[in-house]
Amino acid sequence: MIVTTMDEVINWMRKSSIWYLLFGTACCAIELMQTGGPRTDLDRIGSVFRSTPRQADLMIVAGTVTYKMAERIALLYHQMAEPKYVLSMGSCANCGGLFQNSYSVLKGVDKVIPVDVYVPGCPPRPEALMEGVLKIQEIMMKENYLKNHGERDNEF
Amino acid sequence: MSFRIYNILADRFGKDTLLYFDDTLNPYIQVAPELIQTLCIFMRYNPALKFSFLFSLCGVDYPEKNQITMVYHLFSMKQKMLWVLKTSVRREHPELESIESVWKTAGWFEREIYDLLGVKFTNHSNMKRLLLPDGWVGHPLRKDYEEPLFYHDMETSRHRVS
């Protein structure tokens, strides 16, 4: 017999099936695919990609974000169901990175959507991205969904 | 080799309309903007030249000369040879004849130049911005372009504007 709280069970179920949005904006997306590949199998923690924002829990912003794309990213983010998480992958999504002096590049995706975990690197290795997803799991385990009626604790 | 080609062109158009420079890596000729379409048609279809491939067309901004220079890179499969053409328009009202009718691929290059440098190409089939959003203000590859502080409520600087 196992005794636990309802929140704990919900959190455990949620963190064991993080479905991320199939979405990449630049070369980091190649590394994102590699993370889903057999060597750093993201599937083993229950993480699979979904190609619609309605079914996704996590948005991995993989790559350079231009202003033209930023408006689409904000739209996709608002289409995702609560509770939702954002992982910013690579220097470009974190702060503009190599292209921060460009006229068309957004200097960090946190200018348009709230970000939970930043993964540094150019691009980050699959192991680093895996670590980022594990950090998302840690955040998920700290939530109290029942008490907050599905809203998140650390709302931005 | 390149001088021989220049001679063919000079016979047709006259020596004073074509300025020949060979101090650079690739020799090039500078022509007046009105002449560019006739010259391109000649270079493409003349059996002795047959420059069938336009592999690059780009624009350069020279604010000190008050000019925007278009650089055409041509290649001839028949002669296995590269050739460069240059032409300049004024910066205030940059307008140039489109050579989309000569090489279809030029249409894309011209749209890019319009997007980034603001040169309008006449007789182009679809003269719109290629990469930037349609509502964009200004042409960012001009040397005097200044980035606005905001684009559609998004900060354009890395640090917070207060």
What pLDDT score was predicted for residue B153? 80
Give chain A positions within 8 Å (CB) of B146. none
Instruction: Please give the domain boundaries of chain B with CATH numbers for all domains.
Output: 2-155 (3.30.460.80)
Instruction: Say yes or no for a CB contact (<8 Å) between A104 and B132.
Output: yes
Residue that has been written with the tokens 């060597």 in this structure? A39
Look at residue A100 in the predicted model and tell me its pLDDT.
86
Continuous segment of H or E residues that includes residue B30: strand B28-31
Find chain A residues with C-beta within 8 A of B152's C-beta. 67, 71
Predicted ipTM?
Answer: 0.73
Please state, for a pLDDT cut of 70, what percent of chain B lies above it: 98
Q: Is pLDDT at B162 greater than 70 in this prediction? A: no
What's residue A156's pLDDT? 46
Rounded to whole angstroms, the Cα distance separating B162 from B160 reads: 6
By C-alpha distance, the chain B residue nearest A113 is B154
pLDDT value at B49 more than 90: no
Q: Which residue of A has its CA nearest to B116?
A: A103
Give, in order, the Cα–Cα distances in Å from A62 to each of A50, A59, A119.
15, 9, 10
| Residue of chain B whose Cα is closest to the Cα of A109 | B154
Size of interface A-B (CB pairs under 8 A): 27
Which residues, other chains included, contact B80 with Cβ-Cβ below 8 Å and sequence gap of 6+? Answer: none
* HEC-encoded secondary structure of B45-114: HCCCCCCCEEEEEEEEEECCCCEEEEEEEEEECCCCEEEEEEEEEECCCCEEECCCCCCCCHHHHHHHHH
> Which are the contacts of B11, defined by CB distance < 8 A and separation ≥ 6?
none
> Is B154 an interface residue toward A (CB < 8 Å)?
yes
pLDDT tens-digit map of B1-34? 777 888 888 888 888 888 888 888 888 889 999 8
**Tens digit of each residue's pLDDT (9 = 90 or more) over A32-64:** 999 988 999 999 999 999 899 999 999 999 999
Q: What parts of chain A have a pLDDT lower than 70?
A: 150-151, 153-156
Half-sphere exposure (CA, 13 Å, Cβ side) for A143? Answer: 26
End-to-end CA distance of chain A: 39
Summarised one tens digit per residue, pLDDT across range B105-142 is 999 999 999 999 989 999 999 988 999 988 888 899 99
Q: What does the pLDDT look like over B72-110, one tens digit per residue?
A: 999 989 888 888 999 999 998 898 999 999 999 999 999
